[in-house]
Structure 1
């Protein structure tokens, strides 16, 4: 009996140490497709779930509680042929904040250029050396973006290995007919996301991600004033990107994930802090400038 218990403990430990990196909720929505047989969409959802969650994406050994929580929502709007589909893919990933139950959103993006083929029960294959299918290339691209952004919050430029892989996936897809991979198609697509993340002109983004999370959010519960200062300084650093290129895609990606959180962070700030951050945000994120007015209108927590 003791041997059995010991064996189970060893097996459990091995599984725990070698857990995959992602804990990803997958949903395929096919409600817009007119068909009497929806089994293929359930099979598709299961295949995508297994591809994303069961594949080993890094060389790092992670424990179950360290897996990155994320969601991938695929909305199929059209079935072009028996095995070809068109729609959108929405990706969201979060990061736990030290000493709290709070999870901070790192990535929240809707990609409307998603066309792919899927043959029921056919295994999903991927290689970062070649473009094997648009479905697996798109999924692997966003998996590496998720990994890169998460790693970037724990060490400055810590995500570059995965951003490099994402850029390689883009390069491999340049001759494919499916949209979303090419520079000339749009200034906000997969090409430009990978390009911006590896552009040396935007290196302050990586510093911001690290400082905002490690020196800011992770210390906010215990040292709120010092932590808010670090968050303010990290956001201020994005001015260099905005002044270099006001339409930089990377700024939209950052604020799509962070705007609501930023408003909440400064609800208890001093008036001078509020005025400073609102001025900065109005400059570098004008699309949300009216929302940021809520910061100055919020209560000052008795200060």
Structure 2
């Protein structure tokens, strides 16, 4: 019986090792701008945030190690407000693999300028989904749900709604928080507006674009390049619809921050007529990157990495 018990425990442990949480999130913290501080606290903070993001269960789904969502969070600490409170910025990046290729596409590349949080070394990080008791964990959880939601949206139509709603609940919980980034009146490009834009039905074509661009477009290009590229081109008409409703939307900036270089790469291999149609859309909806998009005209190479 003892031997059977040991075997059972071994199989149980193997089963646990075969499962994984949702995120494979790399955390980096830079504190070079803060002089005279104990550097150990920043190493401990980085380790604690890594554990919080990667070891917490964010969904009800079962993931394998290979299915975990690849993301990076870089925190730049600029100022130490008090012994345990810090201020700076936070860059959040999300990638996902493209089907049957070695290429990873960037879904998000956001810089949140309103990072402000307390951290006490060796004190457990507490998180409550119903109230903002700790701004650091509320901030990290907010982006965990945004990352998961965007990843799910790229695989199924509006697949990330549940997680965007969870992120919106954290925004609602934080309306009385003294830290910035949560309130509508503070900025048009902050956490409040990011999730508001994503869930606003008026801007639903944006999320339709995310699915069509990635699942119907990029994921098809390993064996059907022209069909996949055509779907990507058609998906940009959805972005154009949203732009014509409200050109200054935060989610539009986020899309082009993530996708501008990739679109140059993909559409450089298009036929002349398709290039002209794409350029007309891109120059309308993202004029700030106009000089970058001109490369589509002159470059005829396409190097999406495939096996």
Whether the 8 Å CA contact 1:95–1:104 is kept in 2: the answer is yes
Q: Distance in 2 between matches of 1:127 and 1:192?
A: 22
Q: Deviations over 1:141-188 (max 9, x none)?
A: 111110000000111010000110111111110111111111111111
Instruction: Tell me how far 1:277 sits from its aligned partner.
Output: 0.6
- Confirm or deny: 8 A CA contact 1:108 1:253 kept in the other structure: yes
Aligned counterparts of 2:43 and 2:16: Cα–Cα separation in 1 = 31
Answer yes or no: is the 8 Å Cα contact 2:265–2:301 preserved in 1: no
In structure 2, the residue matched to 1:21 is: 22
Q: What RMSD over aligned residues (CA atoms) do the two structures have, in Å?
A: 1.5
User: TM-score, normalised to structure 1's length?
Assistant: 0.95
Cα deviation, residue 287, structure 1: 1.6
Query: Runs in 1 of length 4+ with deviation above 3 angstroms?
Result: 2-10
Say whether the 8 Å CA contact 1:269–1:300 is kept in structure 2: no
**Structure 1 unaligned residues grouped into runs of 5+:** none
Q: Is the 8 A contact 1:242 1:248 kept in 2?
A: yes
Matched, 1:172 2:173: yes
Q: Distance in 2 between matches of 1:16 and 1:189?
A: 37
Greater shift in the superposed pair: 193-202 or 123-132 = 123-132
Partner of 2:282: 281
- Match of residue 148 from structure 1: 149
CA–CA distance in structure 1, aligned partners of residues 46 and 133 of structure 2: 19
Could you say which residue in structure 2 is the equivalent of 1:212?
213
Q: Structure 2 CA distance, aligned partners of 1:151 and 1:286?
A: 29
Across the two proteins, how many residue pairs are aligned to each other?
A: 299
The whole-number CA distance in structure 2 between the counterparts of 1:223 and 1:159 is 27
Q: Aligned equivalents of 2:238 and 2:116: distance in 1?
A: 37
SS at the partner of 1:101? coil
Q: For 1:1-303, what aligned pairs fall within 5 Å after superposition?
A: 8=10, 10-17=12-19, 19-299=20-300
- Distance in 1, matches of 2:129 and 2:259, equals 30
Separation (CA, whole Å) in 2 of partners of 1:123 and 1:174: 24
Which stretch shifts more, 292-301 or 265-274?
A: 292-301
Tell me which moved more, 193-202 or 286-295. Answer: 286-295
SS at match of 1:268: coil
